[in-house]
Amino acid sequence: MLDATDLECVRGTRRLFKGVSFRLVPGECLFVQGPNGSGKTSLLRILSGLARPERGEVRWDGQAIGSIGPEYHALLAYCGHANALKEDLTPVENLQAAAALDGRPSTLEAVREALDAFGAGAFHVLPVRALSQGQKRRVALARLRLCARRLWLLDEPLAALDASAQTTFAAMVDRHLAGAGIAVLTSHQPVGLRAPTRTLSLS
């Protein structure tokens, strides 16, 4: 269960948002919207623990995320704007490195299967440098399939994805929510989930 209480975010001298509160239980999805620069990315970073809010706190299962540290990291998956892929490595090598970082090294089959599910299996031997933006995004999202996490924080996951990849992604999120996962995502486009979502508007 994710609890956000009275979050306030200040960047430099601008206050981006204030008084943001919500609670998410397993199976729920929060859709964050707002104009450019309204603090959607900052909110996700605060929820992940990368950034500290000016005021307010975030709690997981009743405990402040600052105090549980590594345990919180173990159950969350964060996908930012950047794909977090090394351009000189192949998708397979990238996912293997990501899984190792998780502390759960995965087999080659599992990696190939995650890539295939996202339609990224065809170019698994090319360095990421040679892929298009959309293909890179598919590889980045395939990581979610590889490492099972309870909380997903996704920043503009649909950016550069074509229609079929968007459908695959929506199905993946639906499956995650059905399996008692929680998701918070920002997007400028409708995500098309079957599960009901709550919306938070920052403006």
Asked if 49 contacts 71 with a C-beta cutoff of 8 angstroms, the reply is no
Nearer to another protein, 78 or 118 (CB): 78
Sign of the CA dihedral running 157, 162, 167, 168: negative
Sign of the CA dihedral running 24, 45, 94, 125: positive
Smallest distance from another protein to CB 17, Å: 16
In terms of Cα–Cα distance, which of 155, 157, 153, 175 is closest to 166?
Answer: 157
Nearer to another protein, 94 or 170 (CB): 94
Smallest distance from another protein to CB 153, Å: 9
Contacts of 59 (CB under 8 A, 6+ apart): 2, 3, 4, 5, 65
Smallest distance from another protein to CB 194, Å: 28
Q: Is 68 exposed, middle or buried (0-12, 13-18, 19+ CB in 10 A)?
A: middle
Smallest distance from another protein to CB 61, Å: 16
Report residue 180 as tokens.
Answer: 């008692």
Nearer to another protein, 133 or 201 (CB): 133
Contacts of 163 (CB under 8 A, 6+ apart): none
Nearer to another protein, 97 or 110 (CB): 97
Nearer to another protein, 101 or 148 (CB): 101
Nearer to another protein, 75 or 195 (CB): 75
Chain centroid to CA 133: 17
Smallest distance from another protein to CB 72, Å: 9
Binding residues for another protein, rule: CB under 8 A, are 11-13, 48-52, 70-71, 73-74, 76, 78, 80-89, 93, 96-105, 127
Residue length of the chain: 203
Report residue 178 as tokens.
Answer: 């059905």
Smallest distance from another protein to CB 83, Å: 6
Residue 53 is classified by DSSP as -
